[in-house]
Structure 1
Amino acid sequence: MEFIFSVLRVLHIIGGFVSLFVFWVPIVTKKGGKLHYTFGWIYVYGMIVVAISAFYMGFYRIFLDHSSTKEIISFSWFLIFISILSSAAAYYGLRVLRNKNRKKKHTHLLDLSYPILLLISGIAISIYGFIHEIPLLSWFPIVGFFLGITQLSYWLQKPTRKMHWWFEHFAGMLACCISTITAFVVFGAPRLLNIESVSIILWFLPTIIITPLIIGLSIYYGRKFNKP
């Protein structure tokens, strides 16, 4: 088990850095172009590695490693939640493209199960954080709660605007970027800078910056694709 943990930790670091370095390319390049497509998939594959390894490492520290301290267990729950958030957001961003021609509500079991899991885990981790007075676990999972609600709302309603899948695709992928950068700020940056922790404001900075970007892009493309 310890060997598997060590291997997955290395893969997690590699996948995390790959995702961190390439996530901006699909954002700034021509949508639907070769660079957008190629680097988009590199980012997705990197996040698959990150999500799977993060979930295992969090599970291992909580349930299998009896030497884990309270602090390690708390951060392990955050690691598990980040794995759910990132994979759910990336999966959603891909599935809306696959179902872009739908004309009615969508009830595919897995497509509904992921946002439900995100919703439930967000509530559960937030409650855990408030009980143990951990600000990061108390407030950050609210992002997952709202993402879960938003995704369920999209799937269970008939599309009403043109290019609806376009908006949901970049919203899902940018939400995945939030988890990528947040995880780096919480776990990676303190280790690289050799400091114990960073300000809680920095923990929420990716959400504070990227959420208005999602809203702004939604308004911009909404006006572009849905002109009177």
Structure 2
Amino acid sequence: MELLFNILRVLHILGGFVALFVFWVPIFTKKGGKLHHLFGWIYVYGMIVVAISAFYMGFFRIFIDPLATDEVISFSWFLIFISILSSASAYYGLRVLRFKNRKKSHTNPLDLAYPGLLLTSGIGISIYGFVQHIPLLSWFPILGIVLGITHLFYWLQKPKRKMHWWFEHFAGMLACCISTLTAFIVFGAPRLLNVESVSIILWFLPTIVITPLIIGLGIYYNRKFNKPKNLRV
């Protein structure tokens, strides 16, 4: 078990650095173009490795490692939540493309179960954080709660606007970027800088910066794709 943990830790670091270095390429390249498609999939595969390895490492520290301290266990719960948040967001970002032509509500069990898991885990981790008086675990999971509800509403409702899948795709992938950057700031940066921790403000910086970006892009593309019928260009 310890050997598997060490192997997955190496894969986690490698996958994390790959995702960290390529996630910006799909954001700034032509949407639907070759670079967007290529680096988008590289990012997704990197995050698959990160999510699976993070979940196992968190599970190992909490339920198997007899030497895990309370602090290690707390951050392991955060690691598990990050794995759920990142994988659920990336999965959602891909699935909305798969069903972009749907005309009615979508009730695929797995597509509903994933945001349901994100929602319930967000509630659970947030409660745990407040009980343990850990700000990061108290407030950061609220992002997962909001996303879980948003994803469920999208699937269960009939699409009402043009290019609905476009909005949901970039929202899902940017939410995955939030988890990538947050995990790096919480776990990776302190080790690279050889410090115990970084400021809690930096922990929330990806959420603070990228969330308005998601909202802003949503407004921009909504105006672009859903102009009033009587508006002349």
Per the TM superposition, whether the score is higher than 0.5 is yes
Q: What do the CA deviations read for 1:46-84 (whole angstroms, capped 9, x no partner)?
A: 000000000000000000001000000000000000000
Match of 2:171 in 1: 171
CA distance in 1, matches of 2:81, 2:7: 21
Identity %: 82
1:226 aligns with 226
1:40-51 → structure 2 map (5 Å cutoff)? 40-51=40-51
SS in structure 1 of the partner of residue 54 of structure 2: helix
**What's the Cα RMSD here?**
0.3
Give the C-alpha shift of residue 145 in structure 1.
0.2
AA aligned opposite 2:128: Y
Q: How does 1:44-193 map to 2 (within 5 A)?
A: 44-193=44-193
* Counterpart secondary structure, 1:125: helix
- Structure 1 gaps, min length 5: none
Q: What secondary structure does 1:68 align onto?
A: coil
Tell me how far apart the structure 2 counterparts of residues 125 and 220 of structure 1 sit (CA, whole Å): 33
Opposite residue 118 of structure 1, the aligned amino acid is L
1:113-139 Cα offsets, whole Å, 9 max, x none, are 000000000000000001111111001
C-alpha separation between the residues in 2 aligned to 1:145 and 1:82?
13
How many residues align? The count is 228
TM-score scaled by structure 1? 1.00
Q: Distance in 1 between matches of 2:13 and 2:86?
A: 15
Deviation of the 1:227 alpha carbon: 1.1
**TM-score (structure 2 length as normaliser):** 0.98
Runs of 4+ off more than 4 Å: none
Letter in 2 for 1:195: V
User: For 1:151-199, what per-residue CA distance to the aligned partner results, in whole angstroms no more than 9, with x for missing partners?
Assistant: 0000000000000000000000000000000000000000000110111
Aligned residue number for residue 231 of structure 2: none
Alpha-carbon distance between aligned partners in 1 of 2:30 and 2:225, rounded to the nearest angstrom: 16
Tell me the distance in 1 between the aligned counterparts of 2:123 and 2:54. Answer: 20
Look up the equivalent residue of 2:203 and give its one-letter code.
Answer: W
Give the Cα separation in 1 of the matches to 2:218 and 2:53. 32
Tell me which amino acid in the other structure corresponds to 1:84: I
Q: Unpaired segments of 5 or more residues in structure 2?
A: 229-233
Alpha-carbon separation, structure 2, partners of 1:219 and 1:62: 42
Distance 1:47 1:166 in 2: 21
**Structure 2: distance between partners of 1:126 and 1:217:** 28
Q: Give the aligned residue type for 1:126.
A: S
| Whole-Å separation in 2 of the counterparts to 1:39 and 1:89 | 17
Partner letter of residue 101 of structure 2? N
Question: Hey, what's the Cα distance between the residues in 2 that align with 1:81 and 1:69?
Answer: 19
